[in-house]
Chains A and B, each alone.
Chain A
Amino acid sequence: MSTDDVGGGPNPRVPEIQDPRPSTPLTETFRTGTANDPPRPERAVDPEDGPATLTVDGETVVVPPGGTLLDAVEAAGSEVPALCHYDRDTEAAEEIGPRTTCRTCMVETDEEGPVAACSTPATDGAVVDTEAAAAAEARRHNLELVLSDHNLRCTTCGKNGRCELQDTSIEEGISHPRYGVFDDRDGYEPLDPTGAIDIDRNKCILCNRCVEACNDVQVEGVLRIEGTGEETRIGFQSDAETMADSTCVSCGHCATVCPTGSLVEGGLVDATTMPLPGFTQRNSVGSVLESERDRERDEREATEELSGVARFMSKARRTAGSATDRALRTGEHLAEDVAAGVFSEGILFGIAKRVGDARLDRLDRTETTCGYCAVGCRFELYSDDERVLGVRATDPDAAPANDFSTCVKGKFGYGFIERDDRLKTPLIREGDGFREASWDEALDVVAAELEGIRRDHGADAISCFASSKCTNEEDYLMEKFARTVLGTKNIDNCARLCHSSTVAALLETVGYGAMSNSIEDVANADCYLFSGTNTTESHPVLATKVKRNVRDGADLVVVDPRKVGIAEHADQYLRSKPGYDTAWMNGMARHIIERDLHDAAFVEEHVRDFDALKRKVEPFTSAEVERLTDIPAGELTAAAERIATADSVVFGWAMGLTQHSHGTNNVRAMANLALLTGNVGKPDAGLSPFRGHNNVQGGGGDMGTLPNVLPGYQDVTDPEVLDTFEEAWGVRPPEEIGLTVPETFEAIHDGDVRGLYVMGENPALSEPDIGHANKALEETDFLVVQDLFMTETAEHADVVLPAAAFAEKSGTFTNTERRVQRVGKALDPPGEARQDWEILQSLANRIDHDGRRWDYETPTEIFEELTDVTPIYAGMSHERIETEGGLQWPCPDADHPGTRFLYEDGFNFSDGMARFVPADMGEPGELPTETYPLTLTTGRVLYHFHTGTLTRRVEAITDHVPESFVEIHPETAGTLGIEGGDTVRVESERGHIDVRAKVTERPGKGVVFVPMHFADGAVNTLTGERYDPTSGIPEYKVASVRIERINRD
């Protein structure tokens, strides 16, 4: 980080005067280097302002309040360039600019003379002339000044063909910029290819969009502008010199908004360059930076003694140092120099752009929905025939959840797709290993084996696990396959392990097991109570909206045993004790009732059983809560009052509340608080269980992949429901409630379940006490696994079927806000791998059953069928979803616009009333003992997903977090004689893992944290098989462990 060394010491900062601007605590450390500009015109609108009527080049136009002259110019159909302006008409895009740095948008007004159109408010009656001589001269001259400092190497630029500077120069007819272009090789800054995004500062026009995207959209504080005059450049807020060494979280916003080839997604760097050897960006610039991480990797590789070629290749990938590279580079330089000598820049533009356009034409662009988490980000995948090269923002209307935002996984997490270890053919077990087989053979084996088990032990001796990663269409078929083809009642999925307690509690209290509100409501709440949600890491794009809203003045209360990233932004952070959450929530409810701060009218009108709640929370005085949870009484009551007095509150939670042996009670207590304060059934408020998997809401619930409900949460024990399905399917589904995932493993141990069909799940790592789970997988008579990779689960299988990744399939996902969105197919699956629905269909037609033959030709047909039997999806179709930017259920008929938030017209019970279901305080199933004195809690990190099957195979991601670790509070570490970096053994009654220690104040004293994503150092070796009695969710969040140091580097 460089500061402005204007001599004479630091700037004063006027400490006596309070900075009245709303800020998050992070603002203190934000050093963006940019001025404290006035609010953007559209943010400075006086409510009394009306639209402005003005004249542009003789045309009369009307601009809404807050509009700029640039808006007026566009409305009038006139054109001026505006290079630094980010032209995307959305709220998030308004966070970027107007920087008004390039001054290529000058126009003249009768009152003010030449002004920059991008940042001058449109005032009533103004007369604007875009053709006025002074303004036109300034526009063109400034564009030429921009080009003078731009390294015009279009033929080796990754943005060739979609570069805003190139487009503008062509539109303005710049054939020979008077100051030339920046082509002094000695003056080149080295390329920084160390991170997921390549930085080429030689192409930077200092529009500052990236800095604002980083600080104002993502609210991350990585980039800044530094230096002044000619030394002005984009740098890092930390002391880092390279992207890899910075605090970058690789969200990708900066590359998304960059107008030139200065910030380019690694995969797209050479996608549009001249298709000749040597025409690469790296060769063009020449010198390349190396990060600390690269150097460490070099050292590691040196000591690991990679074989010569592998090591050479590994290094050559990062530097352009080889003899071949040098030769190619010389070739490129020569060619560029010859071209520069012969052609004017304008002709070069044209040639380069034709190359770029042609190469872009050969790239596929596929609009799709992200396959990682449940926020439901949409974007375009850029791919060639083999791989996903990059991700770029799509049309705002098609991306309601994220606009142009992404996180590291959605933007860069595609390396797994092209991995060599993808499954490409069906595999059949042979002794300790597998042999390749044809589809016919493999499917025949599966059909025969499953039919055999059904014949010998009954259909209920087979269990099926659906997948929250697959499409709605596929999970619907999976559930139909289980119930009608196999005839088993046993269908469940991994949602059992994440939000089953949420679903159970919300069904009891408000009626739907889903988020009651929308991401839009979460983005605009007046106040938040978050607990057990590591939002910034697990739902990064959603978290950016919360961070922005908090920055702009909303209140945030975070209660969590671990001081997670979102807590850094909180107005109040309360550190709780793992396993005692009901206590503090009941305590808040008690204080709110005692102070008469509850919404009495709402409760009276809309909620039953208030007295029962009152009685239940009575013992939870703030003093008692402090005794139980260590949360100071004053903090608790202050937080309670904050929530009770806010206009609208969003109650957000995730696994931190649900994965307990009393998880359902935790969620009941949360729902009670929301009802008590009247924050359900209105905008900008509500109950927000943040769902995990991309399609856990749809494929893990809505589609009936649960043992107790059919699609649309229809009761399997209700004969009328079964009649409907019998009519639709031609087969009556089993009317008994089936086995949950954990019950299935018990049943395998007991010999009651003998066949297991697993589609896209990895229970060998995700189950609690995986030692026990793996034993069950061993004991299974016949195990089928359908997946992308030879997962830890597949290793136990009898038949492994190669499936397609989300970029290789089409269909729909339902995100956390109940929004059903299209998934587009960008690539063909590798080898003989097939989409999951195709596999299920082939199998269904091989197994004897009473239903009709399956002959779906496309996922669209499957969707049509499922909407017929799923009332909450009844009004949807692929076409509507595509044209209306997704649809949120309930959407009962074709004219229904979908539902932004639930319960506006009453709760989902026959009387329309919600219920207070008083929550008993549970204790953790395992308490610290003398032998195991520490409390282990588990969770995620930003860079990985679930069991890491995908993310552990992506270089851009493993670069950030390559291996497991344990977080230990400094005091605890001190007592145990542990330092950061030590390898330690974490041991519970069930087993042990060896991981590196990270000493940090994120967990509290006596609490340790291990992430869940790694096979090596698998945390579920340690967790126990204790379950919530209502929902069957395992208690991942609490286990008693001890830690000892085993060695120090």
Chain B
Amino acid sequence: MSPPGVEPGPVVRVTADTSDRSAVIEAIDDAADVSVRRVGPAGTPSPLGLYTTAGRTAIHTDLRPDAAAEAATTLEDGDFPTTGAEAAVDHDEDTAAIPAPDSGPLSVGTRRVLGPCGWVDPTVRPEPVAAEFDPETVLDRVATVGLRGRGRADGATDDLISAVWERTIEAEGDPVVVIHAADTDCPTDELMCRSIPGRVLDGAGIVADAVGAEDVVALATDPAVEPLEAVADGELIHRAPESFRIGEPTMALEALEGNDRIEARRRPPGPEEWGLYGRPTVVHTPRTLVQLRTLLEDGEGFDPESADPGTRTVAVRGAVRAPAVVELRTDSALSRALSAVDAAGDRYVVGGRFGGVTGSVDLPASAPALSASGLGTEGVLEVLGPDDCIVATVGERAAFAREENCGRCVPCREGSKQLHGALRDVYDGEFDPETLRELARVMRTSSLCAFGEAAARPIRTALEAFEPEFRAHAEGRCPAGTCGGLR
């Protein structure tokens, strides 16, 4: 037996986002006697075939069955398949991450938590990294570093997770850990569940030990369920209904409790004190959990002095040739993420569907920096193409908020309706930026949950950066030349 991570002989890895992966693998198996691994997606714009032998890996993106078979045959023959490769990289034989090339999407940013994605076998659960730590040590290290939660689905979005844990520990009742892997707004959590589910669950185990929870429950999107179940060891994995709304943590808890109508819960207190069935509940996204695990595995790269220690993942989508997930140090510029894709535009929505609209992404990728600029911290960078009309874009998001809100609080339910109506009015020549700004402000300051707080962000930021676009529409002109009105 080889030690874990060390491959005996030539190995071919085929990532899960490959179209018709079975056919590719069949072709390889038919052509050559090499070990083939089914790995999860790597977050790259294209699916990958990784051909490894003796500390050297050739990275291919041409995954037509005959091309793959040819590369595999080369590998079997003791040669290295450089023909058609994007890159060839030398590396440690026992590396647990895709070896980083000097160029191409995999070279962008710092793939620390994403590294194992597309490399390790998702069906194998790694050794727990914190087995020998006692809960106080874990809490202490997390608090000292000041690790923050990632994603709107997290129970501590951009807040110190140690503070949330402490409230859970102090609260009455048996604590629970909920893995929230059901936010449809950001693809990164699903990616992690498919590629490194064992690390996600191990991260949850660390939290469970730290807060004294015996139960770990995951709420996951459909594609994430099977990979999580494959490595689950006592964790309860549940399939989430497909809904943007349940990306909000209290609505996820409602879904887990089986409520037939999902609305946000009143706070305070939040889930950390009153969560699943009223038990103190730590809700974390896979992004947070893997970041946490990485911190405990190797604290290097987590600067306690940083306002947002660690890395941030950024899913780039929109007017790009193919979307990708990139990992950036929080002090590097968000614009770095664009080099992983072919972006066809210079206006952006930062922070998911309810992100902020901006013409510049030359700012640090850290949550505090993004928030300070009025942008979202959801870890999504959407590129708007030349044909994308700003007014139509924010109008569609207002319509979405109007349709998808849970209906509980007035600023969100009635506010999104008025917001949408006011944008329609723009097309009829009525543009009242002051009322729009006030409404957007009121929704942010007084909505019951993060859904309503964020729902008006696209408009608020678009008014700031692109007010002339609105005026043009009110005058009957769409600068993008594509606007057919707002549904």
Contact = CB atoms under 8 A, between A and B. Distances in A.
A464 B417 CA distance: 70
B374 to A, nearest CB: 16
Given A138-B445, A232-B413, A148 B418 contact: yes
Given A11-B262, A114-B445, A149 B277 contact: no
Contacts of A99: 266
B56 interface: no
Given A101-B448, A228-B262, A12 B411 contact: no
Most interface-central of B240, B241, B254 (chain A CB within 10 A): B241
A511 interface: no
Contacts of A121: 268
B348 to A, nearest CB: 28
A431 interface: no
B268 A38 contact: yes
A999 B254 CA distance: 38
A178 B268 CA distance: 31
Contact of B255 (A11, A17, A37): A11
Interface in B206-251: 215, 217, 219, 222, 236, 238-243, 245-246, 250
A50 interface: no
B92 interface: no
A596 interface: no
Given A101-B408, A121-B268, A145-B414, A134 B257 contact: no
B346 interface: no
Interface stretch (B116-124, B128-136, B191-199, B397-405): B397-405
B177 to A, nearest CB: 12
A323 to B, nearest CB: 38
Nearest to B219: A12
Contacts of B417: 148-149, 230
Contacts of A226: 261
B159 to A, nearest CB: 13
A36 B414 contact: no
B259 A12 contact: no
Main secondary structure of the interface of A (DSSP, over half): loop
B261 A3 contact: yes
Contacts of A231: 407
Interface string B252-280: 01111111111111111100011011110
Contacts of B264: 35
B418 to A, nearest CB: 6
Contact of B259 (A36, A135, A141): A36
A945 to B, nearest CB: 38
B47 interface: no
B411 A145 contact: yes
A30 to B, nearest CB: 11
Interface stretch (B100-108, B317-325, B350-358, B434-442): B434-442
Contacts of A104: 410
Contacts of B439: 141
Contact of B445 (A34, A113, A146, A206): A113
Contact of A20 (B262, B266, B268, B277): B277
Interface in A9-55: 9-14, 16-21, 31, 33-39, 44
A141 B442 contact: yes
B31 interface: no
Nearest to A148: B414
Nearest to A134: B445
A14 to B, nearest CB: 5
Interface in A87-104: 98-104
Interface string A124-165: 000000000011011001100110110000000000000000
B272 to A, nearest CB: 11
B406 interface: yes
B22 interface: no
B239 to A, nearest CB: 7
Q: Give the interface size bracket for B toward A.
A: 35 or more
A11 B256 contact: yes
B446 interface: yes
A805 interface: no
Nearest to B240: A8
B313 interface: no
B254 A179 contact: no
A831 interface: no
B447 interface: yes
A145 B418 contact: yes
A186 interface: no
A678 B173 CA distance: 33
B250 to A, nearest CB: 7
Interface centre among A10, A145, A225 (most CB of B within 10 A): A145
Contacts of B242: 6-8
B435 A137 contact: no
B415 interface: yes
Contacts of B87: none
Interface string A180-215: 000000000000000000000000011000000000
B326 to A, nearest CB: 29
Contacts of A206: 407, 413
B138 interface: no
A14 B281 CA distance: 14
B277 A6 contact: no
Contacts of B269: 38, 44
A227 interface: yes
B100 to A, nearest CB: 37
A135 B411 CA distance: 13
A423 B259 CA distance: 55
A394 interface: no
A119 interface: yes
Contacts of A845: none
A10 B258 contact: yes
B256 A21 contact: no
B176 interface: yes
Contact of A146 (B268, B273, B414): B414
Contact of B239 (A8, A17, A106, A230): A8
Interface in B410-459: 410-411, 413-418, 435, 438-439, 441-442, 445-448
B258 A137 contact: no
Contacts of B438: 137, 141
B15 to A, nearest CB: 25
A851 to B, nearest CB: 67
Contacts of B410: 101-104, 142, 145-146, 205
Contacts of A574: none
Contacts of B96: none
A6 B418 contact: no
A12 B258 contact: yes
A116 interface: yes
Contacts of A36: 253-254, 257, 259, 265, 277-278
Given A8-B239, A106-B445, A145-B410, A229 B404 contact: yes
B240 A100 contact: no
A431 B257 CA distance: 73
Contact of A229 (B241, B267, B403, B441): B403
Interface string A224-244: 111111111000000000000
A911 interface: no
Contacts of B402: 229-230
Contacts of A21: 277-278
A114 B174 CA distance: 32
10 contacts: A3-B260, A8-B243, A35-B265, A38-B268, A39-B274, A100-B409, A138-B442, A205-B410, A226-B261, A228-B263
The 6 tightest CB contacts between A and B, nearest first, are: A13-B258, A232-B407, A38-B274, A8-B242, A6-B243, A12-B238
Interface of B: 173-174, 176, 215, 217, 219, 222, 236, 238-243, 245-246, 250, 253-269, 273-274, 276-279, 402-411, 413-418, 435, 438-439, 441-442, 445-448
Given A35-B263, A229-B405, 16 more contacts: A4-B262, A8-B239, A12-B255, A13-B257, A18-B277, A20-B278, A33-B260, A33-B261, A33-B263, A35-B266, A113-B445, A137-B438, A137-B445, A145-B414, A148-B414, A149-B417
